[in-house]
Amino acid sequence: ILNVEQSPQSLHVQEGDSTNFTCSFPSSNFYALHWYRWETAKSPEALFVMTLNGDEKKKGRISATLNTKEGYSYLYIKGSQPEDSATYLCASRYNQGGKLIFGQGTELSVKP
């Protein structure tokens, strides 16, 4: 059974802090890694899709890196804002048509 792990499970930071969290996944036969943001009462929203080892993606204050050899991805948020409060989900895919395997999520709370 393929297992995707996210850490920490939850995180509480102050506005303006920078933060990061981890997604670990089995590296064998890896195809792609997806990051989603899920705000309360809204639909999960795609942030990044990453496929290549060493890939880095950026969207505003949020960025992500990927290491496919060792099987991990980091998501960074620079200068956290209250509107960044959400659950961040990662999911890995193991072939082109394969289903996504989701981690349990990291719940981020940013206090003003």
Q: Contact residues for another protein (CB under 8 A)? A: 4, 6, 9, 32, 34, 36, 41-46, 49, 89, 91, 93, 96-97, 99-105
Coil, strand, or helix at residue 84? Answer: helix
Least Å distance between CB 106 and another protein? 11
CB closer to another protein out of 35 and 84: 35
Nearer to another protein, 71 or 103 (CB): 103
C-beta neighbour count of 42 within 10 angstroms: 9
CA-to-CA distance for 41 and 14, rounded, in angstroms?
22
Q: Minimum distance from CB of 44 to another protein (Å)?
A: 4
Q: Which is nearer to another protein, 13 or 49 (CB)?
A: 49
Residue with tokens 């102050």: 14
Shortest spacing between CB 14 and another protein, in angstroms: 25
- Cβ atoms of 32 and 96 within 8 Å: the answer is no
Closest CA to 12 of 109, 112, 89: 109
